[in-house]
Chain A
Amino acid sequence: MAESPSNRKVANSLVALSSAAVLAVYAAGYTRTRGAAAKFETQTAERRPAPMPAPAAPAPPANEPPITEPGPALSQAPKTESPKPSATTVEPQPDPAPAPPAAVVETAPAPEAPPPSPPPPAPPAPPPAPTWKDGTYTGWGTSRHGDIQAQVVIESGRIASATIAQCLTRYSCSVIEKLPPEVAQRQSAEVDYVSGATQSANAFYYAVVEALNKAK
């Protein structure tokens, strides 16, 4: 490669850019979480009652031990954790208050409370399925961990399919991948809860509700 002043300039800015990129991502990550937390409060106010749809959501397969983080140990013994989202069953839960500035060390996150035990199963007679206008609709749902966009396709007045169009949560949406098919099966946004991914499941629910509202 030829040495040239412009080359050197690119080189210097590459080093600077790599540092700037990390700061931009880090800062934006927390800004987004903060904004989501604020919106979350609004949505919580109008939150659906929490009937557990029967059957209750099975917990995701525990094919991996819960994440154990290396503690403050002087030993060098490595503890490992796979970031592979499909195998992750524990979501670290930030403090429920809107995220403080990043520099503030949060209190230790409580493990996500399991969903309340299901009420006695009293499945109501399915209401007559509402009909929607045909088309493809999208909606956004919010959680403390970020937003989810759902896309719902209406054909012949019925929900033909629902998908996660964008997953902007801090955690992979693979933990709630069983939810989108339920929307078409049930002709409703009332999807199951997912233990360990309550926030993501709620965000998906809100996203579908918003999409279906557009289809009315």
Chain B
Amino acid sequence: MGTIVTIEVLQPNADAAIDRAFGWFREIEARCTRFNPASELMQLVAQPVAQPSVPVPASPILFEAVRFSLMAAEATEGAFDPTTTGHYKDIFIDPEQNTITLTRPLTLDLGAVAKGLAVDAAARELEPFEDFAIDAGGDLYLGGLNPNAEPWTVGIRHPRREREVIHTLRASNQAVCTSGDYERGYHIQDPRTGETARSVASATVIAPSAMLADALATAAFVLGPDEGIRLLDRMGVEGLIFTPDLERAETRGLPRVA
């Protein structure tokens, strides 16, 4: 993932659990990376090149990451799409056999979903400790309360001024994820048109899981401020979108710090 991961746990004696939490990042990265031809993901996408439509057995991690990605693609009508070439409708999953079938060669980028899944698995690992924060390069999960016994405070970066916070919100037992056009040469393409999405500077989503927050932030980024907020409302999550002109669109229930 090439991401710095920070974990803070407020309760004592969490070292072993924190080790295991970091272990989830390594395990999920190892299976879902595009950068190692031997990874489970790369073996999956190699299958249809040799012979299409052959069901490939998948580990729970790969299977769930792909299943969620397909569902997110359906729910956002393709605004989120895990394929970078090809089409998500060429991917089929069999929950009985835990197999994935690609009917034609395509490329899959599970990066964002895998990172979210790793944050969520780490959060599950740390659940017994109640109060903790996980930061994986902007994918946040905030468990319980901060050291002041209040919901955690999360600053949303100003999309145009690197060191400034444009909005502050509170979160507890929630994930917060931001898709921004300023992230290391980040260009989010609209998978439906192939064009670079330009109507949003940053899209932030607060959701029960980081995997969901990340996928919906990407989709909202692509859809633009109006449709993006409608998507988040429909999904029952909160979010905040800034346009390149710094116009703000937000869901009605967006929590804010008074």
- Interface positions of A (Cβ within 8 A of B): 1, 3, 7-8, 10-15, 17-19, 21-26, 28-29, 32, 67, 69-74, 76, 78-85, 88, 92, 94, 103, 105-109, 146, 163-174
Quick check: A18 and B209 within 8 Å, CB to CB?
A: yes
CB within 8 Å: A-B pair count: 191
Cα of A174 to Cα of B38 in the assembled complex, Å = 10
| Complex contacts, A12 vs chain B, CB 8 Å | 236
Binds A, one of B23-31, B156-164, B179-187, B250-258: B23-31
How many chain B residues have a CB neighbour from A under 8 Å? 73
| A85 touches which of B4, B26, B76, B125 (Cβ 8 Å) | B26
B235 touches A21 (CB 8 A): no
The CA of A109 and the CA of B22, in the complex, are separated in Å by: 13
Q: Does residue B9 face the partner (Cβ distance < 8 Å to A)?
A: yes
Residues of B within 8 A of A29 (CB): 24, 27, 60-61, 121
- Supposing A11-B234, A72-B9 touch, asked if A83 and B14 sit within 8 A by C-beta, the answer is no
Nearest first, the 9 A-B pairs at minimum CB distance are: A92-B19, A28-B60, A72-B12, A21-B64, A83-B25, A18-B212, A69-B18, A22-B120, A18-B209
Distance (whole angstroms) from the CB of A104 to the closest CB of chain B: 9
A102 → chain B, closest Cβ, in Å? Answer: 8
Docked CA distance A73–B77 (Å): 44
Q: Does B13 lie at the interface of the complex (its beta carbon under 8 Å from any beta carbon of A)?
A: yes
Contacting residues, chain A, for B75 (C-beta < 8 A): 7, 10-11, 14
Q: Which of A7, A11, A83, A168 contacts B26 (CB 8 A)?
A: A83
Tell me the complex Cα distance, A146–B59, Å.
11
How far apart are A143's CB and chain B's nearest CB, in angstroms? 13
A171 in contact with B36 (CB, 8 Å): no
Give bound CA distance, A79 to B207, whole Å. 25
Q: Are B117's CB and A166's CB within 8 A? A: no
User: Considering only CB atoms, which chain B residue lies closest to A149 in the complex?
Assistant: B38
A24 touches B235 (CB 8 A): no
0 or 1 for each of B32-61: is its CB under 8 Å from A? (1 = yes) = 000010111001000000000000000111
Q: Does B2 contact A (CB under 8 A)?
A: yes
Main DSSP-derived SS at the B contact region? helix
One of B66-74, B81-89, B100-108, B241-249 at the interface: B66-74
A32 to B123, CA, bound (A): 19
A-B contact pairs, 26 of them (CB 8 A): A1-B227, A14-B212, A15-B235, A21-B117, A22-B120, A22-B124, A22-B209, A24-B60, A29-B61, A32-B59, A70-B7, A71-B12, A76-B147, A83-B1, A83-B3, A83-B29, A92-B16, A94-B20, A108-B16, A109-B16, A146-B27, A168-B31, A169-B30, A170-B23, A172-B36, A173-B38
**Residues A85 and B230 in contact, CB atoms below 8 Å apart:** no
Chain A: minimal CB distance from B98 (Å): 10
Across-interface contacts of B234 in A (CB, < 8 A): 3, 7-8, 11
Q: When chains A and B are docked, how far (Å) is the Cα of A198 from the Cα of B22? A: 19
Q: Given A71-B15, A171-B30, A1 and B230 touching (CB < 8 A)?
A: yes
Inter-chain contact A84/B2, CB cutoff 8 Å: yes
If A14-B212, A72-B13, A85-B29 touch, whether A109 touches B120 (CB-CB below 8 Å) is: no
Chain A contacts of B208 at CB under 8 A? Answer: 15, 18-19
Nearest B residue to A22 via CB reads B120
In the bound complex, what is the Cα–Cα distance between A17 and B212 (angstroms)?
Answer: 9
| B65 CB, min distance to chain A CBs, angstroms | 8
Nearest A residue to B219, CB-CB: A1
Nearest CB in chain A: distance from B80 CB, A: 10
Check B217 for interface membership: any CB of A closer than 8 A.
Answer: no
Chain A residue nearest in CB terms to B213: A18
Contact assessment for A107 and B64 in the assembled complex, using a CB-CB cutoff below 8 Å? no
Are the CB atoms of B121 and A25 closer together than 8 Å? yes
Other CB < 8 Å A-B pairs besides A29-B121, A74-B147, 15 of them?
A: A10-B75, A14-B68, A19-B209, A21-B65, A22-B123, A25-B28, A25-B61, A25-B117, A29-B27, A79-B8, A81-B4, A82-B5, A83-B26, A103-B128, A108-B13
Check B64–A25 contact: CB distance below 8 A.
Answer: yes
Q: Is B10 an interface residue (CB 8 A)?
A: yes
Measured in the bound complex, the distance between the Cα atoms of B29 and A71 in whole Å is 24
